[in-house]
Structure formats: structure tokens, C-alpha cells
């Protein structure tokens, strides 16, 4: 994936660049579903409890693919379907999402399973490796 040039971002601030690439809630929820829930197709994303609208989902999938965060490929079982998976760049977001999860769990009442939180806290590298194996 080609990096954007200096002029294609509002600023070169690393936080701004991150927010422009994946910073809306829908994009991070799509990455969450790919990473933690194993969702890999359009209808699976629609089934998420956050209830993303179809037009927004389609738009975010295109943007995430264009940013090199996810890849799309034809479904080997059904040529009409498309499957999505995280690219290496997408998997590199795992530590960021884990820190968000741990922060939220420490400060709010969340639905995160305690055993998953313990695994994340215990050994982040091992936890991320287990996600990649799925």
C-alpha cells in the first residue's frame, strides 16, 4: 500500500494521521470484529450489536481497504460473497485496541469477559499471537 504524500493529510501530526486512517468509531469496530470476533463478511459486520448502517459499512470497508488496513478476497465457497481479513498493517492495530479495551475495562463497566481481560493484561504479545493463529 502506497503511503499518502505530505499534502494528503490535514497535518503531519501522528495522531491526526491515525485518526484520518482509522479514527471513526465504525472503522475501529470493523477492525475489532475482524480481530476479536472473527467476522469476515459484510452481513457479519451488520449483525454487530452497534447496528451500523449498510451504506456506512460499505463506505468504511472501502476506506479501510484503500488505507491498507484490510484486504478483500472472493469467498471460495460462494463467488458472490467477499471475505475480509486484516492486513499486516491492520494487525499492527491490535496493541492499540487492546490498550483501549484495558483502559475502558479499568474505568467503566464493560462486557469484556474477565478471562480475556486477564489474558490481555498477562502477556500482550502472547495474546496477539493467539489472535493471529485464528
Residue 57 near residue 102 (C-beta atoms within 8 A): no
Q: What pTM value is reported for the model?
A: 0.86
Residue 33 near residue 45 (C-beta atoms within 8 A): yes
Q: Which of 21-25, 42-46, 127-131 has the lowest mean pLDDT?
A: 21-25
Q: Which three cell numbers mark 79?
A: 463467488
Domain boundaries, position 107? 93-134
Q: How many structural domains compose the chain? A: 2
The answer to whether residue 42 is domain-embedded is yes
- The residue behind cell 496477539 is 128
The answer to whether residue 2 is domain-embedded is no
Confidence check: pLDDT of 74 > 60? yes
Stretch 103-111: mean pLDDT, rounded?
95
Residues 54 and 35 in one domain: yes
Q: Which of 2-16, 25-39, 41-55, 61-75 has the lowest mean pLDDT?
A: 2-16
Residues 45 and 102 in one domain: no
pLDDT tier at 128, thresholds 50, 70, 90:
very high
Stretch 22-50: mean pLDDT, rounded?
93
What CA–CA distance (Å, rounded) separates 68 from 65?
A: 5
- Tell me which DSSP letter residue 80 carries: T
Please tell me the predicted confidence (pLDDT) of residue 79.
84
SS3 for 111-133 is CCCHHHHHHHHHCHHHHHHHHHH
String of DSSP letters for 29-45 = HHHHIIIII---SHHHH
Residues 30 and 76 in one domain: yes
Amino acid at each position: 500500500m502506497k503511503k499518502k504524500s505530505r499534502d494528503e493529510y490535514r497535518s503531519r501530526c501522528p495522531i491526526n494521521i491515525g485518526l484520518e486512517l482509522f479514527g471513526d468509531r465504525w472503522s475501529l469496530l470493523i477492525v475489532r470484529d475482524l480481530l476479536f470476533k472473527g467476522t469476515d463478511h459484510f452481513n457479519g459486520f451488520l449483525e454487530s450489536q452497534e447496528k451500523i448502517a449498510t451504506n456506512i459499512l460499505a463506505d468504511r470497508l472501502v476506506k479501510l481497504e484503500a488505507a491498507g488496513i484490510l484486504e478483500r478476497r472472493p469467498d471460495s465457497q460462494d463467488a458472490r460473497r467477499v471475505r475480509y481479513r486484516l492486513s499486516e498493517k491492520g494487525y499492527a492495530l491490535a496493541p492499540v485496541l487492546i490498550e483501549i479495551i484495558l483502559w475502558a475495562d479499568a474505568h467503566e463497566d464493560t462486557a469484556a469477559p474477565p478471562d480475556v481481560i486477564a489474558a490481555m493484561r498477562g502477556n500482550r504479545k502472547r495474546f496477539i499471537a493467539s489472535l493471529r493463529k485464528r
